[in-house]
Structure 1
């Protein structure tokens, strides 16, 4: 028998708890029945440990967080339930093995305790993403320890490898465990829901659940990025980790229920692991390489040069020469250029010049993309392993001109705040920067200029080139 006895996908709506829902929970009775069935099954399986992957604990951008004190508890007071609480003992032996394996395999994961979390003004406690599955388990079975993991915004392959590390830990310790991927599906199913409606929400839920039922792991990892982003889900990364724990097994799931009456998709699934399946990791990596190669071959020349420059630098250790047979705009024209790197939708590095410093735009791109990857003081140097996960954009700047505050538009113009030798630049059309006040505040902060002081303003336009566009 395998060490991982069963896998489950479980939602975590707080209103499923009667003291929170106060009658509303009856609307999702099918979800409640399915979760009760899982609790009953786990009671029959009697695992030593339950591993729960949750989106709602303290999340770090660069490492998975593993709760690592002897004991942990939580409550639902934030949802106006002052009676219900959940508690459990942590399987520290499992944690130690898991962290050791992650260190060996360069998977970013760390144990967190009260002392560490206090530095971030966070409490060491169970979150509702873990408590709700435990609520249903505890109805039928309580003689278990838990491994409580908050996922991080790592790339999908890293998350998959972390799942493999969980499987390896269970095997080496010869522990019988149950694996729970806690996560709601799309939060944007209805126009009268709590979140902004998107037609991509229902498409995402159907695609994910259909592919899980079929055990089509490659299709899950290759779902349309636009659809995933618009869906507003919180369960996909938990699923990536769960699928990694299923490496070498048949990943077909049984859908126990699906509901979305409040505009959020609640999917409940169980997965047997009786059949052996194919090893998927190598196929996933090869698929990602093929996607990248296709993206490069279809890229516009500006972004293509940036990608080639980055690959050349990491393979040779020095800047590449300007390619021949470039257009006049790239090989002869001069201008300021900013290059931005994003990983999993988050900024990973950005460097540039608002006036030309080389003889051509091509050379400006070649230099600045490497600086963005290696010299941005806000981030650690990009590792070679990360190159596959980067999305690159190139902004070619027009010459800046003096402007007044009234002449600014954060979607149309970039801005430079100037006071003596202090200069702070902010590019236009950035996510989360919607007002002139926000734009000027950030530009001044970058320059070290107080908003109460006098400073000059310049504005500029850019032409932005992105991979895949």
Structure 2
């Protein structure tokens, strides 16, 4: 599983866990949490985009050990929604026991009380052998998005917030030592006392707690979250605070951005979905509004548009020397520029390695080619311009793969090479759901017969729209 590079916590998330988020459980009631459902779908797409090695899930309904934090130590884990009338919604996942071992070692070195929970310990404390529903709900949405990764599930601890936060620091250290790219999900609802018909009855502390926490989380004020009045927390009847604090500790000392995706409080319970990421990480799956809090197209997309519109009108295109791009972009990179007219493909040209001296020049050149030299289409004309939209894919370094089993068309693009013939296909194309289909299309584009031996490469992209 180790990719050979340094480990890193690549994404964090707060995920609510009402069972009615599962369609087979919620039925028509799912409409009451539609904002939360859509946010969970976006959360899952973001996880798919960062392509982790492991998903760590901290659940307030996981194994709770006296005086320590309990972490599942069973190799193959199962769970279902039978207790909610949907036994057919079932999961079997592999536990990352190697990461668990490193985490337990790190806990011992720091004098932090951690406990691996195996079958014997489950029997001793009378815990069921199955994963709890608060762990399964985020897994459901991840699986729907095609994310099937090993997990490391655990319960939370009844410690002081700063001690819970310290756990996150230890967890991050273990992730880094184990060489894992990890997503950390804190499963938890907010107040259960928002309205008179709430499960725990009404308390004015319920809405006050949710407003306070959501405001602090939206601003990324971790210190403020740690200092929330414990009496307010208790009176609010929350169940996600401890999981959230444990996850936030993973970001200690890093420059981070929180991305609130939704908050609503139907049925008297607060459901919040939020992502936590490095400030310099752009998640194309979120789009500009969520990802950068801006309605303007990304500068690369704007550059492609300006290039095509200038040439179509008989004007000079932008000069790369006069273009200023964000500093977090690479100086040079391979790029694909894609044009759509009324949602349908209108041109697509790109490079699999940079051929120009700057990223700006690469975009300008490929935008020109996609609009006016794609052999599948007539050149773009001025009257079409207000109906054309653009996307720019910046390619990562291609890496060789042994066979199609190492491909995933939702995450990786593919390069198929036979001698001087090369076929390329970008990832996440509608209708291309299997690696075989992806490779077959790339072969046809390059004129490579199905029986000819080929070299396969995969690459990731960051897509700007």
Q: Same fold (TM over 0.5)?
A: yes
Contact persistence 2:189–2:270 (CA under 8 A): yes
Work out which of the residue numbers 215, 220, 223 in structure 2 matches 1:210.
215
1:247 aligned onto 2:252: yes
**Counterpart for residue 450 of structure 2:** none
| Aligned partner of residue 254 in structure 1, secondary structure | strand
Give the TM-score of the pair, scaled to structure 2: 0.58
Q: Give 1:143 shift.
A: 3.5
Summarize deviations over 1:58-93 as a string: whole Å, max 9, x none.
212311010011110111111122211122100000
Work out which of the residue numbers 140, 154, 161 in structure 2 matches 1:135.
140
**Counterpart for residue 448 of structure 2:** none
Q: Give 1:125 shift.
A: 1.6
**Counterpart for residue 19 of structure 1:** 24
Work out which of the residue numbers 260, 273, 279 in structure 1 matches 2:278.
273
1:199 aligned onto 2:204: yes
Contact persistence 2:33–2:264 (CA under 8 A): yes
Work out which of the residue numbers 104, 129, 151 in structure 1 matches 2:109.
104
Contact persistence 2:71–2:116 (CA under 8 A): yes
1:177 aligned onto 2:182: yes
Distance 1:204 1:252, change over 3 A: farther
Summarize deviations over 1:90-129 as a string: whole Å, max 9, x none.
0000000000000111111110011111012222221111
Q: Give 1:2 shift.
A: 6.9
| Aligned partner of residue 65 in structure 2, secondary structure | coil
RMSD of aligned Cα (Å): 1.5
**Counterpart for residue 33 of structure 1:** 38
**Counterpart for residue 364 of structure 1:** none
The separation in 2 between residues aligned to 1:43 and 1:210, in whole angstroms, is: 27
The separation in 2 between residues aligned to 1:165 and 1:30, in whole angstroms, is: 34
**Counterpart for residue 452 of structure 1:** none
The separation in 2 between residues aligned to 1:219 and 1:261, in whole angstroms, is: 26
Contact persistence 2:15–2:273 (CA under 8 A): yes
**Counterpart for residue 429 of structure 2:** none
Q: Give 1:55 shift.
A: 0.4
The separation in 2 between residues aligned to 1:138 and 1:111, in whole angstroms, is: 26
1:57 aligned onto 2:62: yes
Summarize deviations over 1:293-313 as a string: whole Å, max 9, x none.
xxxxxxxxxxxxxxxxxxxxx
The separation in 2 between residues aligned to 1:227 and 1:275, in whole angstroms, is: 34
Q: Give 1:243 shift.
A: 1.4
**Counterpart for residue 154 of structure 2:** 149
1:66 aligned onto 2:71: yes
Summarize deviations over 1:359-407 as a string: whole Å, max 9, x none.
xxxxxxxxxxxxxxxxxxxxxxxxxxxxxxxxxxxxxxxxxxxxxxxxx
| Aligned partner of residue 64 in structure 1, secondary structure | strand
Contact persistence 1:217–1:251 (CA under 8 A): no
Runs of at least 5 residues in structure 2 that lack an aligned partner in the other structure:
1-5, 282-465
**Counterpart for residue 324 of structure 1:** none
| Aligned partner of residue 116 in structure 2, secondary structure | strand
Contact persistence 1:114–1:123 (CA under 8 A): no
Contact persistence 1:60–1:153 (CA under 8 A): no
The separation in 2 between residues aligned to 1:166 and 1:242, in whole angstroms, is: 9
| Aligned partner of residue 134 in structure 1, secondary structure | helix
The separation in 2 between residues aligned to 1:187 and 1:252, in whole angstroms, is: 27
Work out which of the residue numbers 215, 222, 226 in structure 1 matches 2:227.
222
Contact persistence 1:212–1:252 (CA under 8 A): no
Contact persistence 1:61–1:154 (CA under 8 A): no
Q: Give 1:275 shift.
A: 5.4
The separation in 2 between residues aligned to 1:26 and 1:213, in whole angstroms, is: 25
Q: Counterparts in 2 of 1:371-410, with a 5 A limit?
A: none
The separation in 1 between residues aligned to 2:73 and 2:168, in whole angstroms, is: 18
The separation in 2 between residues aligned to 1:49 and 1:275, in whole angstroms, is: 22
Contact persistence 2:198–2:267 (CA under 8 A): yes
The separation in 2 between residues aligned to 1:100 and 1:150, in whole angstroms, is: 18
The separation in 2 between residues aligned to 1:74 and 1:260, in whole angstroms, is: 27
* Number of residue pairs the alignment of both structures matches: 276
Q: Post-superposition, which runs of at least 4 consecutive aligned residues in structure 1 deviate over 2 A?
A: none
Contact persistence 2:63–2:71 (CA under 8 A): no
| Aligned partner of residue 137 in structure 1, secondary structure | helix
1:76 aligned onto 2:81: yes
Q: Give 1:251 shift.
A: 4.2
The separation in 2 between residues aligned to 1:82 and 1:65, in whole angstroms, is: 26
Contact persistence 2:7–2:178 (CA under 8 A): no
Q: Give 1:141 shift.
A: 2.5
